[in-house]
Chains A and B, each alone.
Chain A
């Protein structure tokens, strides 16, 4: 199957700093990628849909100025958590669709102290 990578796999940062997470489709082009967040023992919640060459579409309740998404190429989308706070600590997962299947990155575990 297709491969999606994420970097970094985990990050610990101080409150108030910004963190950038990269999502790459390694062997296919993805005009659309998705960013999810998953808190412990909860489901994946779609945060936003990232569209190559245009603005991301954010789900209700997700602050677009706090979670900056850039999809500059067909294989790379980035999510920047700006001014991170402890409540932003979570597991962030990106995915890309190929045919009718979604392929997920390995996730990034963010811990904000």
Chain B
């Protein structure tokens, strides 16, 4: 089993749609969680951290379920510019950071 697993997609959604991604992790001792966004042929960039209480940033909502060991990202009112690959990232403590393979999102007009 992979340490961090994501549905690779692609998710094809129309503008304005709501889309959700899930990510599961295997190490129950993992300490911090993030969603990164990666555009084609570019480096990943931090989208948001994921807190136990859940957090929201504009159209983006991230949640953490420690009991079930999964993280979610919800995007509301999708924009064309949201098209990218979304990487689930788990920090297992110290400097060990594990990246999921990413979920590809295509938002179409």
Q: Which residues of A contact B (CB under 8 A)?
A: 1, 32, 34, 36, 41-46, 49, 91, 93, 97, 100-102, 104-107, 109
Contact = CB atoms under 8 A, between A and B. Distances in A.
B54 interface: no
B101 interface: yes
Contacts of B87: 43-44
Contacts, number: 38
Contacts of A46: 97
Given A44-B44, A91-B41, A97 B99 contact: no
Interface residues of B, number: 17
Contacts of B20: none
Contact of B95 (A32, A101, A105): A32
B43 A93 contact: yes
Interface of B: 8, 32, 41-46, 49, 87, 89, 95, 97, 99-102
B8 to A, nearest CB: 8
Nearest to A51: B95
Given A1-B46, A34-B97, A42-B101, 12 more contacts: A32-B95, A44-B99, A45-B99, A46-B97, A93-B43, A100-B32, A100-B49, A101-B46, A102-B89, A104-B45, A105-B43, A107-B41
B43 A43 contact: no
B42 A107 contact: yes
Which of A34, A102, A107 is packed against the most chain B CB atoms within 10 Å?
A102
B100 to A, nearest CB: 6
B97 A43 contact: no
9 contacts: A1-B46, A34-B95, A43-B101, A44-B44, A44-B87, A97-B95, A102-B89, A105-B43, A109-B41
Contacts of B8: 41
A105 B42 CA distance: 9
A50 to B, nearest CB: 11
Contacts of A41: 8
A102 B43 contact: no
